[in-house]
């Protein structure tokens, strides 16, 4: 089984085989012996890599694998061949539109721009209040506001689309 | 004979639990209060009694003095512990307690007023001979502000007069940002504290945040329990605290301790309080006094073998302060906040799984439980991890070990950042300042990246395998069938919708 | 510079984790070993490396000296920690380590042999001037046994010569039970220790079990860390331990401590050891010496601020003993065993949920995790709850508080019994003996019964309601539909069958 | 809704009503106001009884309710009217036969009696080894062994029937 993993922009190819109860994972010119065992709680794994032990909490949502191990939190994208092919096609559709989304639920306490406004990089677009802090959300680059999707005073959910810039 | 019969705990989260624990150990009953969002909270479940206050917004519940005091009266409480935040630094709450014949487990209202207004506090400190940061202003408006900032020189800090605990503070580095920042700070202060006064202070370079824990009884005795070093901060929210502070000499420690006690005496203080100082290059400057128990008080408790909540209760009951024991070893606290470790944005969600640290020298103060919903209504602190070691090296190693043992699933925390702090050369050398977090190297080694990829690939393979893939090379079936654990996950989600 | 590069931890459960924790804090790598049943155990997951030994029976894994030493050699370990139980008191294991050039983190083989044979140990103790319980016999057979028992008077105790930790002990109250009990004890001893020698001892009335923790280095220094009182026992398994022992005067404590150190010197002891005494009416009698770290060692650690595992590692590396600090306050340990609180029979099952105690002065040493299967292969201890307080009263109150915070779902524990001990008048007065558990009143107050019934009725009502009962009086639908949480339960059970 | 609860031999009748979001539970001449809320983990409840707070872990398996609260473990039998009627009928079928069952999984290391043997109260019937301890299982009263269901050396599961006495 072949997988493509991506983490922090680095992409690598892995080949996984099940032999004699173990997993043999090859990447580049090296092969690792893995013993991966699921603990009774359904999300924790005991992972042995060539005898080295790791306590891993893993959340697998299709190609998004979120890991807690060695004191770190990793979000790794793992595609199999079929998914990789499908994503390669979909990737061509990406345009010049950028979305500003709420990173957390909160209240829009101020809207600093209107539809049609030109904005500069670093300009405050929206002030979102959450957890008792007022957080100015800034433009990541220059552009024009093409759509406003929130109102001042509105409570928004995490991930809610606030506005679009082109 | 218990000191009080029943204490109302006017707070929530870990600090409410902290107070309940000590009260239980002293044979005192506790009454919890709760908002709609906190019906199932651990402080409600652990208290002797519980009273529902109302809506989930703080103003409708924990900040509503009439409701809180009303609950205390209705349940026959003879004392009230405000914890930190909420009513803890509201003189009106202390007054209302007094009027209702209920002992307020905090300082007298006058002391709260005197120290709560940061401008007023500076004046008192100056009179008491406590050194101050230069450049502070009063009667601040936009015009005076610009002039004053030019005088003390950039960068400057804007602070809410009614703020505290890092809330309502902004750093301004250039004049062109000053007025907008001032307006934002005022708006924030108005929203958070109902008081929009904001003042300006010189930003001391490479400062350390060092604070002194004091305690005063009703007989005029004031003692201090040494210092806490709280320089590991982001957005002025502390992340790692330790005691002792490596930078202090015994002589300096004594001078700071004496200054803190002098200030407490100057305002007729009673109970637990913290005097915060900026420390830089052998000098210390008064920042503010927090007239309540501090979040990081366990660091002091671990070193001095003292239960500060017990002492609060004892002195409120009129007893004399117990002598301060010799401090031992080194203590470190790490705050476990529900937040994104990169953006520090709050991470909301449901705690679906937890695994807690244990073993020697480890203390966890937390109100976490499996199933807890982390909501936007309250602050994001889930827990405090405190360790004690024979010396600083052991405490650091122990803290690292305990952080690795702590697993929280459902929301993210800044524990990876805390681990980097503990590994950081500046931190290990003890030579750091409040800017340390900005300088932390967050990059991953290639070995770590490879390990994470290996683990992720293996986890995905196992999911597919368990979901019923028929052959080793996979024929797509793996993605058709529902893996067993996603069934479990869905069950929990279904459940969540119904509860 | 670390004392060793890599330690093999030849054990499982909480003690393996205990050793791993200290090794991590000292910067030493650890190698876990595991049986089939322990593939997912926490000690495997927390160690740096892990080696699979074989089948789930101890003889195929943790007790197999060749396999264990082989794993240590294969992974390049330079030291081995045996924990307690398993190989910890097998001189052959210590010898095998020596032969393989691996440091054994325990006493020399000679000392193990000398103290491991209880008959031999008595002789050495007698020569060292340590007081003994009268009536001990050697070369015991059925005929001599009856005569000897008549001589010392009933009740008498039968003890396995190779036993320890309360294992292989029987009390016989009448002559007619003596021979059957002897045969059973021999059979048990044969099965458990591969050695069927059993000896007889006078049963001291109202005895307290008091033990001294000692530590010796390779330079001839021997120190003790005071005593632990372990009289709260059932079937000779300890349930609650505390330090200090209320019954001892400082003079008596010093005499016992000196006797323990003398015994250690008499056998050329190195490392951690415990000398157990019976104490009764101002007199103490040598029981046995345990040539290993004891389960209840954290009680001592909490009082003396010492990490005994760290000291074991340090002295094994040839360092001199650190000075013993002044003890502070009072410590209590409660063993959390998976057992029925009425019969003390093991309670097997799967830990489906846990909620752990926290806050000031609380330590939990445990290898529990959600999903853990408690199997019949190993002993039933799940965790040790240890508390420390400024004085005994605070420690008792804290212990009670912490026990109430601890929730384990899936297996039962004797925590209700431990709570009754903490409430018991004899215990509170400190005037108790090893018979205390048999005298504990287990009855419920009418208020408690009513409360439990109310809660049970309400829980059942809520289940029916949530399951979709259409009307308040219920029409049977409630029992037809599957309530949401029993769906969850089934999901977990399904899962369990597959994993 | 009417329930019959039994604990430690004591039986009581309870009437439960849902009014205004609370539960009103009447037993004898007293009525309690209960607020029972299920915590997110699915087995823990927060229970308020007239304002007094209890943290309860409850496991409800039909009429068997196992509780952990106030530091105790309670096994309460709670029947509704229908179940009570059904059990009353079934109860008549109970005869003079008693079963000896293994309270835990273990190995039968000795069988002290055979079929047809008369036994006295307190007599050792079976020696079961579990968790490294040998546990003699005793007769609870006099009778005759009518059926042996285990063999020496056999591994038995928890709850396994070992023998029957009449």
The answer to whether B233 and B177 have CB atoms below 8 angstroms apart is: no
Q: Using 50, 70 and 90 to split pLDDT, how confident is the model at B234?
A: confident
* Same domain membership, residue A72 and residue A25: yes
The confidence score (pLDDT) of residue B482 equals: 31
Q: Which of B24, B305, B365 sits opposite C358 (nearest CB)?
A: B365
Instruction: Tell me: do C193 and C229 sit in the same domain.
Output: no
Residue A140, pLDDT above cutoff 90 = no
The CATH number given to whatever domain includes residue A23 is 3.30.700.30
Whether residues D117 and D140 share a domain: the answer is yes
Question: B227: which residues sit within 8 A by CB, 6+ positions away?
Answer: B210, B211, B212, B213, B243, B244, B245, B248, B253, B256, B257
Q: Which domain holds residue C479?
A: 446-496
pLDDT in tens, B282-297: 989 999 999 999 999 9
The confidence score (pLDDT) of residue C494 equals 26
For position A42, what pLDDT does the model report? Answer: 73
Does some domain include residue A139?
yes
* Same domain flag for A49 and A100: no
Assess if residue D127 is contained within a domain: yes
In a domain, A85, yes or no: no
The alpha-helical segments, DSSP class H, found in C175-276 are: 175-193, 250-266
Examine the domain organization and report whether A105 and A134 are in the same domain: yes
Chains that touch A (3 or more CB pairs under 8 A): B, C
Instruction: Please say whether the beta carbons of C199 and C119 come within 8 A.
Output: yes
Residue A121, pLDDT score: 79
As a whole number of angstroms, the distance between CA B113 and CA B122 comes to 13
The answer, for C53 touching chain A at a CB cutoff of 8 Å, is no
Report the residue of chain B nearest D49, measured CA to CA. B49
Same domain, C276 and C413: yes
In DSSP notation, C423-464 reads H-HHHHHT---TTHHHH---PPPHHHHHHHHHHHHHHHHHHH
Interchain CB contacts (distance < 8 Å): B and D: 50
Are both C153 and C54 inside the same structural domain?
A: no
CB contact under 8 Å between B353 and C370, yes or no, is: yes
pLDDT at C481 over 50: no
Task: Determine whether the interchain pair B371/D54 forms a contact, defined as Cβ–Cβ distance below 8 Å.
Answer: no
> Which residue from C21, C26, C491 is facing B491, i.e. has the nearest CB?
C491
Reported as a single tens digit per residue, the pLDDT across C5-64 is: 999 999 999 999 999 999 999 999 999 999 999 999 999 999 999 999 998 889 999 999
**Does a structural domain hold residue C267?**
yes
Q: Are residues A66 and A12 in the same domain?
A: yes
pLDDT at C479: 37
Tell me the chain B residues in contact with residue D39 when contact means C-beta distances shorter than 8 Å: 40, 45, 369, 371
D35 contacts D47 by C-beta, under 8 angstroms: yes
State the alpha helices, DSSP H only, in C246-330.
250-266, 297-304, 308-316
Cα distance from C39 to chain A (closest Cα, Å)? Answer: 8
> Which residues, other chains included, contact C404 with Cβ-Cβ below 8 Å and sequence gap of 6+?
C419, D70, D71
- For the segment D13-25, the average pLDDT, to the nearest whole number, is 95
Q: For residue B118, tell me if it sits in a domain.
A: no
Lowest mean pLDDT among C71-85, D52-66, D70-84, D103-117: D103-117
Of residues B450 and B478, more confidence is placed in B450
Q: With a CB-CB cutoff of 8 Å, which residues 95-154 of chain D face chain C?
A: 103-106, 109, 127, 129-136
Determine which one of B197, B292, B363, B398 is catalytic: B292
For residue A18, being part of any structural domain is answered with yes
Cβ contacts of D55 on chain B, cutoff 8 Å: 42, 45-46
Within an 8 Å CB–CB cutoff, is residue B495 touching chain C? yes
Comparing CB atoms, the residue among D5, D71, D135 nearest residue C403 is: D71
Q: pLDDT category, A152, cuts 50, 70, 90? A: confident
Choose the final residue of a domain: B150, B184, B202.
B202
Average pLDDT in the C395-408 region? 97
pLDDT tens, C444-478?
999 999 999 999 999 999 999 988 744 444 444 33
**Same-domain check for residues C378 and C233:** yes
Q: Distance of CA B442 to CAs B396, B418, B435, Å?
A: 19, 11, 15
% of chain C at pLDDT higher than 90: 70
Domain boundary among D24, D45, D80: D80
Query: Which residues of chain C does B18 touch, with a Cβ-Cβ cutoff of 8 Å?
Result: 359-360
Cβ D163 vs Cβ D100: under 8 Å: yes
B–D contact (≥3 CB pairs within 8 Å)? yes
- pLDDT band at residue D166, thresholds of 50, 70 and 90? confident
User: Residues B423, B445: contact at Cβ < 8 Å?
Assistant: no
- Which residue among A35, A57, A80 closes a domain? A80
Number of compact structural domains in chain C: 4
CATH number for position A128: 2.40.50.100
Can you give the pLDDT at residue C476? Answer: 40
Q: Any chain B CB within 8 A of the CB of C444?
A: no
Residue among D39, D51, D54 whose CB faces B369 most closely: D39
- Say whether both D52 and D100 belong to one domain: no
What mean pLDDT is predicted for residues B315-329?
96
Q: A8 at the B interface (CB within 8 A)?
A: yes
Residues of chain D positioned with their CB less than 8 A from the CB of C448: 70, 72
pLDDT digits (tens, 9 = 90+) for A111-134: 889 898 988 877 888 888 776 667
How far is Cα A155 from Cα B375, in angstroms, rounded to an integer?
A: 13
- Asked, for residue C479, whether it belongs to a domain, the answer is yes
User: How many percent of chain A have pLDDT more than 90?
Assistant: 42
State which of A92-101, B125-134, C230-239, C285-294 shows the largest mean pLDDT. C285-294
Residues B51 and B159 in one domain: no
CATH assignment at residue C43: 3.40.50.20
Chain C CB contacts of B359 under 8 Å are 17-18, 21, 363-365
Q: Residue D53 and residue B32: Cβ atoms within 8 Å?
A: yes
Say yes or no: A9 contacts chain C, CB-CB below 8 A.
no
D139 in Cβ contact with D153 (< 8 Å) = no
Q: Is the pLDDT of residue A15 over 90?
A: yes
Strands C6-9, C79-81: pairing kind: parallel
pLDDT of residue A78: 96
Task: Give the pLDDT confidence score for residue B486 in this predicted structure.
Answer: 31
Chain C CB contacts of A68 below 8 Å: none
Residues 72-111 in B contacting D (C-alpha not used; CB under 8 Å): 75
Whether residue A37 is contained in a domain is answered as yes
CB-closest option in B407, B460, B488 to A78: B460
Most C CBs within 10 A among D33, D77, D80, hence the mutation to make, goes to D80
D59/B contact by beta carbon, under 8 A:
no
What DSSP element (H or E) covers A110?
strand A106-111
> To the nearest whole number, what is the mean pLDDT of chain A?
86
Active site residues of C: 292
Whether residue B491 is predicted with pLDDT greater than 60 in this model: the reply is no
If you count them, how many residues does chain C have? Answer: 499
* Chain center to CA of D111: 27
Beta carbons of B27 and D36 less than 8 angstroms apart: no
Q: Of C202, C218, C236, which one is at a domain's C-terminal end?
A: C202
Q: Evaluate whether residue D11 is within a structural domain.
A: yes
- Say what the pLDDT of residue A96 is: 59
Q: Residue B136: what pLDDT?
A: 55
Domain count across chain A: 2
In D, which residues are within 8 Å of C378 by CB distance? 131
Q: How far is A91 from chain B (nearest CA, A)?
A: 21
Residues A134 and A72 in one domain: no
Determine which of B23-37, C9-23, D125-139 has the lowest per-residue pLDDT on average.
Answer: D125-139
Chains C and A share 3 or more Cβ pairs within 8 Å: yes
**Residues C27 and C148 reside in one and the same domain:** no
Chains contacting C (3+ CB pairs below 8 angstroms):
A, B, D
Place of tokens 């405050």: A124
ipTM of the complex as predicted: 0.83
Test mutation, C454, C479, C489, C491, chain D, max D CBs within 10 A? C454
Backbone angles phi, psi at C346, to 5 degrees: -60, 140
Chains B and C are touching, with contact defined as 3 or more CB–CB pairs separated by less than 8 Å: yes
Residue B483: its pLDDT value, please? 32
C83-109: average pLDDT: 97
| CB atoms inside a 10 Å sphere around CB C125 | 24
Same structural domain for residues B198 and B284? no
Computed over every residue of chain C, the mean pLDDT equals: 89
Domain shared by C17 and C141, yes or no = no
Say if A39 falls within a structural domain: yes
pTM for this prediction: 0.84
pLDDT at C482: 31
Average pLDDT taken over every residue of chain B: 89
Q: Do B363 and C359 lie within an 8 Å CB cutoff?
A: yes
CB–CB contact C494 B484 (8 Å): yes
Model pLDDT, residue B164:
67
pLDDT of residue C478: 36
Structure confidence at residue C488 (pLDDT): 30
* Residue C486: per-residue pLDDT: 31
- Pick from B120, B328, B186: nearest CA to B244: B328
Q: DSSP assignment of B328-387, as one string?
A: -SEEEEEEEEBB-TTT--B--EE--EEE---STTEEEEE---TT-EE-TTS--EEEEEEE
Instruction: Check whether residue B223 and residue B340 sit in a common domain.
Output: yes
Q: Is C497 helix (H, G, I), strand (E, B) or coil?
A: helix
Inspect the interface and report whether the beta carbons of C369 and B355 lie closer than 8 Å: yes
Q: What part of B 278-297 touches D (C-beta under 8 Å)? A: none
Are B310 and B284 in the same domain? yes
In a domain, A29, yes or no: yes
Q: What is the mean pLDDT of chain D?
A: 86
**Residue C327 per-residue DSSP state:** P
Residues C230 and C242 in one domain: yes
Point out the domain boundary residue: A52, A80, A108.
A80
Length of chain B in residues, anyone?
499
pLDDT tens per residue across span B341-367: 888 888 889 999 999 999 999 999 999
If you measure CA to CA, which chain D residue comes closest to B48?
D53
pLDDT of residue B51: 98
Nearest CB among D16, D73, D74 relative to C458 is that of: D16
Q: Is the pLDDT of residue B1 over 60?
A: no
Residue to mutate among A21, A36, A39, A69, with most C CBs inside 10 A, is: A39
What is the pLDDT averaged over residues C291-303?
Answer: 98
Q: How confident is the model at residue C315 (pLDDT cuts 50, 70, 90)?
A: very high
- Give C352's contacts in chain B (Cβ within 8 Å): none
Q: Which of A40, A48, A55 sits opposite C350 (nearest CB)?
A: A40
Least confident of B11-15, B152-156, C446-450: B152-156
Contacts of C398 in chain B (CB under 8 A): 25
Residue D67 is part of which domain span?
A: 2-80
Chain C residues lying within 8 Å of D55, measured CB to CB: 407
Which residues in chain B are closer than 8 Å to C353, comparing Cβ atoms? 370
Q: Would B113 be classed as within a structural domain?
A: no
Residue C156's CATH number:
3.30.1490.20
Residue B235 lies in a domain: yes
A7 touches chain B (CB under 8 A): yes
Q: Are residues A68 and A39 in the same domain?
A: yes
Q: How confident is the model at residue B165 (pLDDT cuts 50, 70, 90)?
A: low
Interchain contact, A40 vs C496, CB within 8 Å: yes
pLDDT digits over C171-227, tens only? 899 999 998 898 888 888 888 888 888 888 888 888 999 999 999 999 999 999 999
Q: Does the pLDDT value for residue B235 go beyond 60?
A: yes
């Amino acid at each position: 089984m072949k997988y493509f993993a991506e983490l922090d922009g680095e992409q690598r190819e892995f080949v996984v085989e099940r032999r004699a109860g173990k997993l043999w994972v090859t990447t580049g010119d090296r092969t690792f012996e893995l013993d991966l065992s699921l603990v009774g709680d359904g999300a924790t794994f005991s992972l042995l890599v060539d005898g080295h032990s790791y306590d891993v909490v893993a959340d697998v949502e299709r190609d998004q694998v979120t890991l807690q191990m060695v004191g770190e939190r990793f979000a790794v994208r793992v595609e199999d061949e079929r998914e990789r092919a499908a994503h390669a096609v979909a990737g061509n559709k990406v345009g010049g539109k950028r979305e500003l989304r709420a990173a957390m639920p909160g209240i829009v306490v101020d809207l600093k721009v209107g539809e049609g406004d030109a904005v500069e990089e670093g300009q405050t677009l929206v002030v979102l209040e959450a957890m008792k802090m007022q957080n100015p959300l800034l433009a990541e680059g220059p552009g024009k506001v093409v759509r406003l999707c929130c109102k001042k005073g509105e409570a928004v959910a995490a991930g809610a689309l606030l506005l679009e810039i082109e | 004979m218990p000191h009080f019969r029943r204490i109302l705990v006017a707070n929530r989260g870990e600090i409410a639990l902290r107070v309940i624990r000590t009260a239980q150990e002293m044979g005192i009953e506790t009454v919890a209060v709760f908002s709609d969002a906190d019906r199932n909270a651990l402080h409600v479940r652990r208290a002797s009694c519980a009273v529902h206050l109302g809506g989930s917004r703080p103003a409708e519940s924990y900040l509503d003095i009439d409701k809180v005091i009303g609950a205390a009266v209705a349940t026959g409480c003879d004392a009230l512990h405000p914890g930190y935040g909420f009513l803890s630094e509201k003189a009106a709450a202390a007054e209302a307690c007094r009027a209702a014949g209920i002992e307020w487990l905090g300082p007298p209202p006058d002391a709260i007023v005197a120290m709560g207004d940061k401008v007023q506090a500076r004046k008192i400190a100056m009179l008491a001979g406590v050194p101050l940061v230069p450049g502070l202003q009063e009667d601040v408006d936009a015009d005076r502000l610009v002039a004053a900032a030019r005088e003390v020189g950039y960068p400057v800090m804007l602070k809410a007069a009614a703020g505290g605990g890092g809330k309502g503070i902004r750093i301004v580095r250039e004049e062109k940002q000053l007025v907008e920042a001032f307006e934002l700070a005022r708006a924030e202060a108005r929203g958070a504290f109902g008081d929009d006064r904001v003042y300006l202070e010189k930003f001391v370079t490479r400062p350390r945040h060092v604070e002194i824990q004091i305690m005063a009884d009703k007989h005029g005795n004031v003692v201090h329990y040494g210092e806490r070093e709280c320089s590991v901060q982001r957005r002025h929210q502390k992340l790692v605290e330790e005691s002792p502070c490596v930078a202090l000499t015994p002589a300096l420690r004594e001078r700071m301790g004496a200054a803190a006690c002098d200030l407490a005496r100057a305002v007729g203080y009673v109970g637990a309080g913290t005097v915060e100082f900026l420390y830089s290059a052998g000098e210390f400057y008064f920042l503010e006094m927090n007239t309540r128990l501090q979040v990081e008080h366990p660091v002091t408790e671990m070193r001095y073998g003292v239960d500060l909540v017990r002492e609060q209760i004892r002195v409120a009951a009129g007893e004399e302060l117990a002598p301060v024991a010799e401090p031992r070893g080194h203590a470190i606290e790490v705050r476990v906040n529900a937040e994104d470790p990169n953006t520090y944005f709050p991470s909301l969600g449901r705690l679906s799984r937890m695994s807690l640290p244990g073993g020697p020298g480890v203390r966890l103060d937390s109100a976490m439980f499996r199933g807890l919903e982390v909501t936007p209504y309250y602050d994001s602190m889930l827990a405090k991890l405190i360790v004690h070691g024979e010396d600083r090296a052991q405490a650091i190693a122990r803290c690292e070990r305990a952080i690795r043992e702590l697993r929280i699933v459902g929301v993210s925390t800044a524990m990876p950042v805390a681990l980097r702090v503990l590994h950081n050369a500046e931190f290990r050398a003890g030579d750091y300042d409040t800017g340390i977090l900005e300088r932390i190297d967050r990059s991953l080694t290639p070995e770590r990246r490879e390990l994470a990829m290996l683990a992720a690939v293996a986890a995905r393979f196992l999911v597919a395998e368990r979901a019923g893939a028929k052959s080793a090379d996979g024929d797509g079936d793996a993605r058709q069938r529902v893996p067993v654990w996603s069934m479990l996950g869905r069950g929990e989600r279904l459940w969540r919708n119904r509860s």
